[in-house]
Amino acid sequence: MIWNETKECMSRDQINNLQSARLRKMVKRAYHNVTFYRKKMQQIGLEPGDINGVEDLHKLPFTTKQDLRDNYPFGLFAVPQSQIVRVHASSGTTGKATVVGYTRRDIEIWQECVARVLAMAGVGSHDIIQVAYGYGLFTGGLGLHYGAENLGATVIPMSTGNTQKLITLMQDFKVTAIACTPSYLLHIAEVLEEAGQIDNTHLKVAICGAEPWTDNMRKQIETKLNIKAYDIYGLSEVMGPGVAADCKFHKGLHVYEDHFIPEIIHPETLEPCKEGEVGELVFTPITKEALPLIRYRTRDLTSITYDECECGRTIARISRFKGRSDDMLIIRGVNVFPSQVEAALLEMGETSPHYLMIVDRINNLDVLEVQVEVEERYFSDEIKQLDSLTKKIARALHTALGLSVKVRLVEPRTIERSQGKAKRVIDRRKFD
Amino acid sequence: MIIKQLSVFIENTEGILECVTDTLCKHNINIVSLSLVDASEYSVLRMIVSDPERGREVLKEEGLLAKLTDVIAVKTPQKPGMLHDILTAFRDANLHVKYMYTYSSSENYATVIMRLSKLDTALSLIKQKGYEVCTDKEAYEIVNLN
């Protein structure tokens, strides 16, 4: 079902006109209300009046995650704090979180976008949906929660962590839909399988996201659980989950262009890519009141098409993600930068700062192992001391990353030294 | 007296023990006694060798993490209750045994390597109780142990 046919099936001209009008207003708001944008535009001699429409978008400067960090916590907000009704945050590379805010209107638009995603996946008011993303500062839980409520579905705010309970409630409540990371869903499927309960659910649809996955993984989920699975994409800086999602034809993720203008650029030259060419995805959210980002660089690599989809939607589609233009990893839905590990080790100061991160998917759950070299001056020949060092490192990394980490002590000088760019990460997960 | 034990960090990877024995062999260093702790990810190999200083150096050159640790080698007479007697004395003095292992066993003595919280106190206690410890020469060269 198409939740908002007016907005999802406009002609290209209508889309351009709507985007242009909204972009003009948004640039004005950003220029007048956010010092950062005013300065940035003044530096290159640009005024809000120079932006007449989407065709002028390329004149505007980019915004990066670093800009959000530099203006921590509320520096990029365009409205007084009294108008902010909610704040979300994700962990940053250097300990400082990336903070995003929403006005009441921003939240309404978010709910609308998520409702569109769910409707596209065939979820409706008769459905009972378990939201098994983390609730809290992470946008996944609350984002899906309010979107599903807006749609009129019955929401079970499950959050993450207790698979057994999730399964019990899934069976007892006759849950028909679930929203969680794809790897977690495969894990749930395995637990069901082991208990001989795989055919004993009412589940028919899953909305999965917050981490990269493949078509093969989708098919695996669909076959194992005998359901349909859909891909949902988003990032907190731009809004949260619901910026884009796929329909039953699975030929790319539909971007809600009435709220977000997508661009694809070469990550090196920053020049626009041709339609269909792989590059870095850039978003300009044009209706956001609290945090009006201009040309936000997502670092996600993908391509775009403006062809009408078989489902009837005319809005642009982005292809499955091909990777990242930076070194960020997504582990169990949590964004992790290798530099966070380094910073945490240096801060702790009881190990060498040489480390190797090994990411793997074991029984469909992402596992992060961090190998750390033992330094001679911290080497004790008592196992108790070495164990307590291991635990201390694990605690420090857990605090820094928001993710449990398996720490492994290794001999000194066994981790490859930096000659140019050191190899800090081995990702054994298969995304192709 | 206090003697030097050679302790090596052993990552649980293939061939690492052979690397240690190979290095020591090449430099003509004899392993007199050893203990390998069993842990899942890594372990510590503790050894009494003929030349601990040199042993540490050559292992370090090989890229291994090795250090010297102070321990004592207590000559426990070969009859029931002797070790118990020593340990009781340690306990009464609030000394804490971190680890121990057998160095050698002969007709007269079972010699035990011990790592304790306060080695000096331990040494004087042992003396008070009338027991003996090995000198470094005795330990490294295996002499006078009968």
CATH number of the domain at A401, please. Answer: 3.30.300.30
Q: For residue B21, how many other CB atoms are within 10 A of its CB?
A: 12
Q: Is the pLDDT of residue A419 over 80?
A: no
Is A432 part of any domain? no
Give the confidence band of A94 by pLDDT, cuts at 50, 70, 90: low
Q: Is the pLDDT of residue A233 over 50?
A: yes
Residue A239, C-beta contacts closer than 8 angstroms, at least 6 positions apart: A106, A109, A110, A113, A139, A259, A260, A285, A288
Task: Name the token pair of A302.
Answer: 């993908």
Task: Name the token pair of A88.
Answer: 């979300």
Cα A318 off chain centre by:
15
In this structure, are A15 and A78 located in the same domain? Answer: yes
Q: Is the pLDDT of residue A33 over 90?
A: yes
Is A337 part of any domain? yes
Question: What secondary structure letter does DSSP report for A244?
Answer: E
Q: Is the pLDDT of residue A300 over 80?
A: yes
Highest averaged pLDDT of the listed ranges A327-336, A388-397, B9-18: A388-397
Q: Which of B11, B39, B46 sits opposite A381 (nearest CB)?
A: B46
Q: Which of B41, B65, B98 sits opposite A382 (nearest CB)?
A: B98
In this structure, are A265 and A342 located in the same domain? Answer: no
Residues of B in Cβ contact (< 8 Å) with A409: 9, 11, 41-42
Closest residue in B to A372 (Cα–Cα): B11
Domain boundary among A326, A347, A381: A326
Round to whole Å and give the CA distance between A117 and B38. Answer: 53
CB contact under 8 A, B11 and A413: no
Q: For residue A108, how many other CB atoms are within 10 A of its CB?
A: 13
Helices B52-61, B16-26: inter-axial angle, 10-degree rounding:
120
In this structure, are A295 and A357 located in the same domain? Answer: no
- Which comes out higher in pLDDT, residue A414 or A293? A293
CA distance A388 to chain B (A): 13
List the alpha helices (DSSP H) in A358-419.
383-401
In this structure, are A176 and A46 located in the same domain? Answer: yes
- State residue A90's pLDDT score: 83
Q: Which of residues 117-146 of B touch A (CB under 8 A)?
A: none
Cα A267 off chain centre by:
19
Do A100 and A88 form a contact (C-beta atoms < 8 A)? yes
Q: Mean pLDDT throughout B110-126?
A: 95
How many domains in chain A? Answer: 2
Amino acid, res. B34: L
Round to whole Å and give the CA distance between B13 and A431. Answer: 29
In this structure, are A322 and A335 located in the same domain? Answer: no
HSE-up (13 A, CA, CB side) for residue A200: 12
Return the exposure string of A210-244: e unless at least 16 CB atoms fall within 10 Å of the residue's CB, then b. Answer: bbbbeeebbebbeebbebbbbbbbbbbbbbbbbbb
- Which comes out higher in pLDDT, residue A211 or B24? B24
Task: Name the token pair of A394.
Answer: 């694990």
Range of the domain at A411: 331-427
Residues of B in Cβ contact (< 8 Å) with A379: 9, 65, 67
Say if the ipTM goes beyond 0.95.
Answer: no
Q: Which string of DSSP letters, residue by residue, matches B28-42? A: T--EEEEEE---SSE
β-strands B97-105, B109-116: how paired?
A: antiparallel
- For the ranges A54-58, A373-377, B133-137, the lowest mean pLDDT is seen at A373-377
Is A167 part of any domain? yes
User: CATH classification of B3-69 is 1.10.150.120, yes or no?
Assistant: no
Please indicate, yes or no, whether the overall pTM of this predicted structure exceeds 0.90: no
Q: Mean pLDDT throughout A109-116?
A: 98
In this structure, are A393 and A360 located in the same domain? Answer: yes
Helices B119-128, B82-92: inter-axial angle, 10-degree rounding:
130
Please report, for the domain that includes residue A306, its CATH number.
3.40.50.12780
Q: Which of B39, B64, B69 sits opposite A381 (nearest CB)?
A: B69
Give the confidence band of B118 by pLDDT, cuts at 50, 70, 90: very high
Residues of A with CB under 8 A from a CB of B: 374, 376, 379, 381-384, 386-387, 390, 408-414
Q: Which of B9, B41, B98 sits opposite A411 (nearest CB)?
A: B9
Residues of B in Cβ contact (< 8 Å) with A408: 41-42
| Residue pairs spanning A and B at CB distance below 8 A | 46
B18-57 residue pLDDT tens: 999 999 999 999 999 999 987 778 889 999 999 999 999 9
Q: How many residues in total does chain B contain?
A: 146
Q: Is B96 on the interface with A (CB under 8 A)?
A: no
For residue A209, list its beta bridge partners: A232
User: Which of A381, A390, A413 is the best mutation test for B, with the most CBs of B within 10 A?
Assistant: A381
Q: Mean pLDDT throughout A404-412?
A: 90
For the segment(s) B70-135, the CATH number from 3.40.50.720, 3.30.70.1430, 3.40.50.300, 3.30.2130.10 is 3.30.2130.10
Q: Is the pLDDT of residue A432 over 70?
A: no
In this structure, are A319 and A363 located in the same domain? Answer: no
In this structure, are A153 and A214 located in the same domain? Answer: yes
- State residue A350's pLDDT score: 83
Round to whole Å and give the CA distance between A172 and A168. Answer: 6
Domain boundary among A274, A295, A326: A326
β-strands A323-324, A296-302: how paired?
A: antiparallel
Q: Which of A381, A390, A409 sits opposite B67 (nearest CB)?
A: A381
Residue B135, C-beta contacts closer than 8 angstroms, at least 6 positions apart: B1, B3
- State residue A420's pLDDT score: 44
A332-361 residue pLDDT tens: 888 888 888 888 888 888 887 788 999 998
- State residue B146's pLDDT score: 63
CB contact under 8 A, A382 and B44: yes
In this structure, are A179 and A269 located in the same domain? Answer: yes
Mean pLDDT, chain A, integer: 92
Q: Mean pLDDT throughout A383-402?
A: 91
CB contact under 8 A, A408 and B41: yes
Q: Which of B41, B65, B69 sits opposite A412 (nearest CB)?
A: B65
User: Which of B11, B65, B117 is the best mutation test for A, with the most CBs of A within 10 A?
Assistant: B65
In this structure, are A172 and A285 located in the same domain? Answer: yes
| Domain ranges (residues) in chain B | 3-69, 70-135
In this structure, are A163 and A267 located in the same domain? Answer: yes
Do A239 and A116 form a contact (C-beta atoms < 8 A)? no
In this structure, are A339 and A318 located in the same domain? Answer: no
Domain boundary among A326, A357, A390: A326
Residues of A in Cβ contact (< 8 Å) with B46: 381
A41-44: long-range contacts, CB 8 A cutoff, minimum separation 24:
none
Q: In terms of C-beta density within 10 A (0-12 exposed, 13-18 middle, 19 or more buried), how is residue A267 classed? A: middle
HSE-up (13 A, CA, CB side) for residue A83: 11
Q: How many residues in total does chain A contain?
A: 432
Q: Is B57 on the interface with A (CB under 8 A)?
A: no
Closest residue in A to B117 (Cα–Cα): A382
CA distance B12 to chain A (A): 9
Round to whole Å and give the CA distance between B103 and B120. Answer: 20
- State residue A417's pLDDT score: 61
Q: Which of A384, A387, A411 sits opposite B65 (nearest CB)?
A: A411
Residue A167, C-beta contacts closer than 8 angstroms, at least 6 positions apart: A188, A191, A192, A195, A197
Do A400 and A356 form a contact (C-beta atoms < 8 A)? no
Q: Mean pLDDT throughout A410-421?
A: 67
CB contact under 8 A, A382 and B99: yes
Question: What secondary structure letter does DSSP report for A44?
Answer: T
A244-295 residue pLDDT tens: 999 999 999 999 999 999 999 999 999 999 999 999 999 999 999 999 999 9
